[in-house]
Structure 1
Amino acid sequence: MASVPCVGIGWRQPHYETLLAERPALGFIEVHSENFFADGGITLAVLEAGREAYDLSLHGVGLALGSAAGLDGWHLERLARLVERVQPRWVSDHACFARVGSGLHAADLLPIPFNDESLALMASHVGQVQQRLGRQMLVENISAYVGWAGDTLAEPEFFNELTRRSGCGLLLDVNNLFVNARNAGFDAGEAAREAMRWIDAIQPGSVGEIHLAGHCELADGLVIDDHGSRVRDEVWRVYEHAVRRLGPVPTLIEWDTAVPELGVLLAEAGRARAVQS
């Protein structure tokens, strides 16, 4: 856990040149690992330039750690080669499944059941990844729009046990907590309190990074974690609670759709830094 404020932004293609030219004051930058799996080329050269300027977080979307079909060996090897090349500060992926059968990939972050069998599978796969990378990884809680009948573990309990068994850390996505609570039927105020209760149930020392993002609410009431707007006020309140309980954990402003000017992301990062301070 960091002892001083540390806030970063997701570094997306529209801001590659601007960030390198302006070098704004940031604690780190984060990219999606899979975008840099090629052995060479301009994209990888840009990433290496970014790594020279900032600490780097590699955030993956394709390991599918909870898939009963097992890990994709090719994907893990590409990730390992990238990690060795750029030496990021953090490596992360999601607590989800996506692979089925003989390698079919859903290209989505699908929810896992929260039970002992799923926990054992996830811990085994996380252990395999960490052994190959030679380092700890962080696992993120996802936004989920469907669930499994017969869950026997509360989600925070699942993550507490996962971090204990595997030695991984938790990437705590605060917006996902709020989105899931809203979709469970809570109004905005109670959803924020539900998210705070989730945070209170987590082992504080297990959280290695926090994500903040925007979401949208559809006409039918469904709330979507689209990473396409500023962080909502209710989510900021949950984040304030997280900082009070967990300390100034490195925090990322995540923005993936309708990406605005760099200054908008920097303003959001400034707000997170103010909360940490």
Structure 2
Amino acid sequence: MKKIVKVKDIIFDKNLFVNYLSGTVLDLLLCSYRGLPKGVNYMVIGDPGVGKTTIILDLMANIHRIQPNVRMLFVSAEMNEIDLAIYVQRYPKFGELDIMFVEAEFDSDAHALDDFEEALRMGWDIVAIDSFYELQGIVKEEENITLKKSESLLLSIIKKQNKAKNERGVHTSFLTIQQVTKSGAFIGSNRLKHMTTAMMELRLDNPKNIYSDRYVTFSKHRRGDVGVKLYYSLSQTGDVYFDEERFYNDQKLRKLQNEVSTQLHEYADKFNKLFNNISDDK
């Protein structure tokens, strides 16, 4: 039987609740107390061409600039060295990140699953995976197992890293890009969804127009708010542009709407009490 405990009796290192900061307004979306938390699993999905890889690499590079001692690894199962070199030309800061390229090698004794587990055993503060579905497929083919079994093996490795079972004893945070269906729905099992701390969605205002405004939002968030939009642009070279002014204006508008809604509820309650008192008098 599993040991039964009270959360108040569990002792945590206070440093576990000190977040990683990127120095951009995106920090306000990542967590209610700002920044990327430790030991979490953030799934990143979105419409084709919205810049999922760019947003994640930009986040990691910004964290590296502010906190150079944070160890980060980008696991690329979709793009090769040449593909990433193009990214570095537009965003030179990406060149400072550690990258592990994963590809199926059926004529080699080396297996992606073993390489992935061995690399993570070293202990990384933040690991990004692009994409989980592609890595899952490579493991499936190399190990000659089902997709479900492949997913289970990868999630087991990720869970161990969340709980700091690595050489450095750090609670690894994962930023995992996942593919979606043509309708934009998340691809993955219920277990994968349940292990997800937050679901970051990158969307277009008009999904049929690749040139329409793009925004980041969360549809699931155990560390922050859902439904809040942060608009961004990839048109600049060097950094992703986040529209701070629009974000703060929207924030003020939401606050005002909440205040009005609260007042309306209070007036409704007062009216109901008054109406009930009049009815009682009759």
TM-score of the superposition, structure 2-length normalised? 0.38
Q: Give the TM-score, by structure 1 length.
A: 0.39
**Highest Rg: 1 or 2?**
2
